[in-house]
């Protein structure tokens, strides 16, 4: 969601476990949501998206859940691997605009 955080939250998970990363979005009019992964020294990489007419969408090892009632978005990563270590952040937007609101992000650390 929209926040200006001074501290990047960190989630540490054991390799092979499932990871859940959460995001609270800010605009109730938002109808399109994206999760990005950003590794050190690289640009954000698209992971998965969801539109507001759905509450769940699955990809390869990833699932996005959308709860419009509480304006909450989550990213679930199954069988987390060392290559999943990165900063993950959500983005929200709505039809008719070119503006996207990005979250501050969560750092995922995968422990061997």
Partner 1 sequence: ETGVTQTPRHLVMGMTNKKSLKCEQHLGHNAMYWYKQSAKKPLELMFVYSLEERVENNSVPSRFSPECPNSSHLFLHLHTLQPEDSALYLCASSPAGADTQYFGPGTRLTVL
Q: Using CB under 8 A as the criterion, which residues of the chain lie in contact with partner 1 when the complex forms?
A: 2-8, 31-32, 34, 36, 42-46, 49, 89, 91, 93-105
- Residue 66 beta carbon to partner 1: minimum distance, rounded to whole angstroms: 15
Closer to partner 1 at the Cβ: 2 or 55? 2
Closer to partner 1 at the Cβ: 49 or 78? 49
Closer to partner 1 at the Cβ: 77 or 90? 90
- 24 vs 103: CA distance, rounded Å: 8
- Residue 40 beta carbon to partner 1: minimum distance, rounded to whole angstroms: 11
Beta pairing, strands 62-67 & 45-51:
unpaired
The secondary structure of 46-102 as a DSSP string is EEEEEETT-SEEE-SSEEEEEETTTTEEEEEESS--GGG-EEEEEEEE-TT----EE
- Residue 17 beta carbon to partner 1: minimum distance, rounded to whole angstroms: 26
């Amino acid at each position: 969601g929209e926040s200006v955080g001074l501290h990047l939250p960190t989630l540490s998970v054991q390799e092979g476990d499932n990871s859940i990363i959460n995001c609270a979005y800010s605009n109730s009019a938002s109808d399109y949501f994206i999760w990005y992964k950003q590794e050190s020294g690289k640009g954000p990489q698209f992971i998965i998206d969801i539109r507001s007419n759905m509450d769940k969408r699955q990809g390869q090892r990833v699932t996005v859940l959308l709860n419009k009632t509480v304006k909450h978005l989550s990213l679930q990563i199954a069988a987390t691997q060392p290559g999943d270590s990165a900063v993950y952040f959500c983005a929200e937007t709505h039809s008719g605009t070119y503006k996207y609101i990005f979250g501050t992000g969560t750092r995922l650390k995968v422990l061997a």
